[in-house]
Amino acid sequence: MCGICGQFNFNESRIIKKDFVAVNDSLIHRGPDNGSIKVFENVALGHRRLSIIDLSDNANQPMSSHDERYFIVFNGEVYNFLDIKKDLEINGIKFYTKSDTEVILNAYMHYGDKCFSMFNGMFALAIYDNIKKELILVRDQFGIKPIYFYQDDNKLIFSSEKKAILKSKDVILNINKQALLEYMWYGNPLGNNTFYREINELEPGNIIKISKDKITNFKYFNINSIKEIDISEQEAINRIKYLFEESVKRHLISDVPVGVFLSGGIDSSAITAYASKHYKGKLKTFSICFDYDKGVNELSLASKVAKKFGTDHTEVKISGDDLINVLESLDMSHDEPFGDAANIPLYLISKKLKGKIKVVLQGDGGDEFFGGYSRYNTIKNKNKWKILSFLPKLIELIQTENTKILRFQRFIDAITQKNQYVRNALLLTMESKYRNPIKVFNESMKNELKKLNPFERYKDIYCKYPKILDYSQALFFTDSQIVLKDTFFEKVDKSTMANSMEIRIPFLDKELTEFALSLPAKLKTKKGVPKYLLKKAFKNLIPDEILYGSKKGFGVPYGYWLKTSLKEYFLTQLNTDHVKNFIDIKVVEKMFYEHLRDKGNHGFLLWKVLILSIWLNKNKRIFNV
């Protein structure tokens, strides 16, 4: 796991190496073990290394091919690199390191673009051909690892984080109003949008080829190519057990110790079960409790799992003190507003464990690929709610501020939408057209945002789905493209890499995910049971009280913090001249004082306003309205 960056000057102007040092060093938190830069006149490649596989200096990057034609910078892990290496050796290719980076580079030289479909892992990389003078950027199929790029008439700059681009010279930036709108609806921008109009994300499963004269962008992976299979329940269960165990085995490949975040839920418990079986040595597991979870946690369940599988278990207690510094640190980690407050516990635990362990497995993805959310069953029964479609308008007429009634209004409005992509978008947000989040903006900004469609990303992916894709299956496909990439992977990558920690996600294994998406949706949520197939697959492996017990978990109490420890800070951040260029202060203050009286269900919207305000105040020299 590392940080990568680079620049390609179309006008062939020379890049001065010492001018690129600040760009590369802005990523030092992602790779404290080594930092190097390679310049080829008008092209630069930079790398910050977190050493995980082949700890020797021979595996440092940028890495060149033996003939020095190709150079690579790579962030991530390719877990099947040893299998690919064997095939390449059969074809007479010699290797000089034990790293996956060298395998990736040689696979590209041997197979060309086809190699990226062969890789099972998480990756964002750049390869420069010093003969053809061509640079390519590539991202893994679900976007676990990030890569951003800035482009103008003279140059293209890419990086693992936007902060490296911001360090570059002669970069002109404007605020992206579509991203601002999406943030207010969902808590983060969607698709390739960032808060900077001139900076885009490379889409998952995509390749960009850059030369002096042209830029081409094309897919090497298309989720719509996955077809539903006809399979019996028992066959599906057996296949899941096999694929998941193989995935965990692959995710343990490392030359440094590997641990597991063990929450006491199904997904992390299954990872722990198989990891403890295949890990060479005593597996370290970590469970977390916070001083704000009010005793509602799964520490006792996690402890039982750790005892069952004989792990070296540690309960880590984290304090929510010093929240202001945490919020401002996370603002710097994300480089733009990010509304999911679950980044706070991830940031705190990775900070607590910094220097103690580099690689940790965790259970993201189990819900999205195997039906862990209630909406997968709700969508199957959407027609039964039609009879209540009149209620949202009626509730609006009575102008209630009752939180429970407003939540019910939001749900009924979402589930009774005629348009499929709007319906699913509204099921995945805490906002609604009856409480449109753009109300927090001043008239000028509000008028700009009214011209834009907050559901544009959903519309874009839904119009590409095969017509035979049923409602439930479309929701699985959508979650894997939007919820995971735009919220969960962004949250995990930025909050943990800020503290030099690599998070691996066994549920995102290439073979496992493609199989899961090919399963009929009705099988994954059979009898209305969440994670039906996973529960069957892990029977007799995980204790029944975990498989069939109610998941406790805990929420991050941002609503409570806004009333208490962050009350003054919220008002201070809100009431600045720069924030007033965007926000209607009177409207927000009215909502804030209603929130203090437990009225209006404004908690998450106010939290997003706070995070936006912090970012605006820190970036007032960059942006004008």
pLDDT in tens, 399-449: 887 878 888 888 899 899 989 999 999 998 999 888 899 999 999 999 999
- Are residue 164 and residue 76 in the same domain, yes or no? yes
Q: Considering 221, 248, 279, which residue would you say is the last residue of a domain?
A: 221
The continuous run of DSSP H or E covering 48 comes out as strand 43-49
pLDDT tops 80 at residue 298: no
- Residue 486 belongs to some domain of the structure: no
- Residue 94 belongs to some domain of the structure: yes
β 134-139/206-210 pair status: antiparallel
pLDDT tops 90 at residue 386: no
- Residue 491 belongs to some domain of the structure: no
- Residue 112 belongs to some domain of the structure: yes
Residue that has been written with the tokens 């839904």 in this structure: 462
- Are residue 241 and residue 337 in the same domain, yes or no? yes
With left for phi above 0 and alpha for psi between -120 and 50, is residue 133 left, alpha or beta?
A: left
- Are residue 383 and residue 525 in the same domain, yes or no? no
User: Which CATH number is 148's domain given?
Assistant: 3.60.20.10
Catalytic residue among 2, 5, 115, 289: 2
Mean pLDDT of the chain: 94
Which amino acid is present at 546? I
Which residue segment(s) compose the domain that 11 sits in? 2-221
User: In this structure, what DSSP letter does residue 202 have?
Assistant: P
The pLDDT assigned to 625 comes to 44
- Are residue 180 and residue 248 in the same domain, yes or no? no
Mean local confidence (pLDDT), 589-616: 94
- Residue 479 belongs to some domain of the structure: no
Q: Considering 547, 568, 587, which residue would you say is the last residue of a domain?
A: 547
- Are residue 529 and residue 428 in the same domain, yes or no? no
Dist. CA 58–CA 331, nearest whole Å: 35
User: In this structure, what DSSP letter does residue 616 have?
Assistant: H
- Are residue 28 and residue 176 in the same domain, yes or no? yes
Largest CA distance in the chain: 76
- Residue 483 belongs to some domain of the structure: no
- Residue 487 belongs to some domain of the structure: no
Three-state SS for 206?
strand
- Are residue 151 and residue 292 in the same domain, yes or no? no
Q: Collect all residues with Cβ–Cβ distance below 8 Å to 447 and sequence separation of at least 6.
A: none
The pLDDT assigned to 138 comes to 98
User: Structural domain tally of the chain?
Assistant: 3
pLDDT of 31-66, one tens digit each?
A: 999 999 999 999 999 999 999 999 999 999 999 999
Mean local confidence (pLDDT), 524-545: 93
- Are residue 272 and residue 327 in the same domain, yes or no? yes
Dist. CA 278–CA 477, nearest whole Å: 31
- Are residue 326 and residue 399 in the same domain, yes or no? no
The pLDDT assigned to 1 comes to 67
- Are residue 110 and residue 182 in the same domain, yes or no? yes
pLDDT of 95-117, one tens digit each?
A: 999 999 999 999 999 999 999 99
- Residue 264 belongs to some domain of the structure: yes
pLDDT tops 90 at residue 467: no
The pLDDT confidence band at residue 552, using thresholds 50, 70 and 90, is low
The pLDDT assigned to 295 comes to 58
- Are residue 336 and residue 468 in the same domain, yes or no? no
Q: Considering 205, 221, 237, which residue would you say is the last residue of a domain?
A: 221
2 catalytic? Reply is yes
The pLDDT assigned to 548 comes to 86
- Are residue 295 and residue 206 in the same domain, yes or no? no
User: Which CATH number is 318's domain given?
Assistant: 3.40.50.620
User: In this structure, what DSSP letter does residue 33 have?
Assistant: S
pLDDT tops 80 at residue 551: no
With left for phi above 0 and alpha for psi between -120 and 50, is residue 281 left, alpha or beta?
A: left
Q: Peptide bond preceding 62: is omega within 30 degrees of 0, i.e. cis?
A: yes
